[in-house]
Copies of this chain bind each other. A is one copy, B any other.
Amino acid sequence: MKLTKHNLSEKTNQVYDVIVVGGGAGGLSAGIYLQPYLLSSLIIDKGKARSLWMQELHNYLGLPPDTPGKTLLKQGKEHYLSVGGDLLNAYVEEIIDEGETFLVRVKVGRTNSICVEFRAKYIIAASGIIDHLPALEKMQNVFDYAGYNLHVCLLCDGYEMRDQKVGVFASSESAAQVAFSLGWFTPHITVFTQGLFDVSSELRQKLKEHRYSLVETPVKQFLGENHQMNGVELEDGSVINLEAGLISMGSRYHSDYLENLDLEYQGGNLITDQMGRTSHPRIFALGDLKVGMNQVVVAAADGAMSATQIWRDIRRQTGAKRNLSNLAA
C-alpha cells in the first residue's frame, strides 16, 4: 500500500524482510520480485529517479522506443502496489546496523516534515545517481533542455547525435575523453571546458588531430526553444551553434545514508558480487550505484537478482514454508 504521514504508524513497529532505498527502475524491479517470493518489502522513494528525465527510452525491450522514462516508472509502481508492496515518498537519512536488523531513519514530507524509523532484515540500495549539470546562473535554462537534446548518456543517445554538430560539456580532462567515443557517431564536435579545468597540451593535440574544436570561455546560457537546444551563448557574448549536447561532468551518488556502514567502493560505485551483494552480507546494491553499466534494463535485471538472492538466503535460514499470516498485509 501507499504509505503517507497519516497511515505509516502501523508499519513502524514491524520488521520488513527488505527495505529498498530508491523507487527507480532497479528498486521497482526488486519489489515486483520480492513480494511474489512472499517477502515483505517497503520501497522508500524520494521521487527523483534518473530515468524520470528520459523523454524516450530508446533501448528497453518490450516498450516502444518513444516511451518516456516516467511511463516505465508509473507502470512499475502500479505493478509493485498490485502485488502488495509498501511504497513511501520520503528521504532516507541514515541506516544503522543493529545486528539482526537495520534501523532506517526517514524524513517524510518537505514542509512540516516528520522523522520516522523503520526496520528490515535486508537493505537494497537502489538510490542511483544524478548527473552533475553545468552550473549556470539560471539553472532553469539547463533543465529546459536536459533529457531532450542535451544528453547525459552516450550509450543511450549516441545514435540520436549521429552526424550532428555536438557540444561536449566536460568538467575535467578525463571527462572530456568522451568526445573521442562520441566521434563514432559524429565528426562535428566542440569541447566546452566552461573554464573549469586547465587543458593539457596532450589533450589539445589530440583534439586538434581529430579536428574537434575547443572552447574554454565559460557558458552563459543555452539557446533554443521548445526544449530543443540550438547553441550556447558564452560569457563574452559570442554564440556557437549546436544541434545537440552531451554533458560529461560526473555524477552525484545518492548514498550518503550508507556512510557509516563501511562498505567497499570502487570510485563512487559499490562493489558487489554477481547477485548484487555488497561487502555486507545483508546489504545489496544495484543499478547506477554499483559497478557496471548505467542502463535501465541492467538496473531492472539487478533488481531481479538481488531479490532472488535475498529470497534464497531467507529461505535457507528459515528452512520451512513461509507462514502467510506472518506477512505484512
For A76, the chain B residues whose CB sits under 8 A away are 61-62
Distance between A160 CB and nearest chain B CB, rounded to angstroms: 8
For A300, give its contact among B67, B183, B301 (CB under 8 Å).
Answer: B301
Give chain A's interface residue range (CB within 8 Å of chain B). Answer: 35 or more
Most buried by B among A29, A62, A64, A297: A62
Copies of this chain, tallied across the complex: 2
A315-B181 contact, Cβ under 8 Å, with A79-B64, A300-B301: yes
**CB distance A61 to B72 under 8 Å?**
yes
Set of chain B residues within 8 Å of A25, measured between Cβ atoms: 61
A250 within 8 A of B: no
Selected contact of A186 from candidates B59, B65, B183, B321, CB within 8 Å:
B321
**Inter-chain contact A292/B321, CB cutoff 8 Å:** no
Q: Check A184 for interface membership: any CB of B closer than 8 A.
A: yes
Min C-beta distance of A143 to chain B, whole Å: 25
A115 contacts chain B at the CB level, 8 A cutoff: no
B274 near A159: Cβ-Cβ < 8 Å: no
Chain B nearest CB, measured from A154 CB (Å)? 10
Q: Is A303 an interface residue (CB 8 A)?
A: yes
Which of the residues B58, B61, B75, B301 comes within 8 Å of A64, measured between beta carbons? B75
A residues lining the B interface (CB < 8 Å) = 25, 28-29, 32-33, 36-38, 58-65, 67, 72, 75-76, 79, 82-83, 155, 158-159, 162-163, 181, 183-187, 274, 292-293, 295, 297-298, 300-305, 308, 311, 315, 318, 320-322, 324
Q: A25-B61, A36-B58, A38-B162 are in contact. List 11 more A-B contacts (CB 8 A).
A: A38-B184, A59-B304, A61-B79, A65-B82, A65-B83, A184-B311, A184-B321, A185-B321, A295-B301, A298-B301, A301-B302
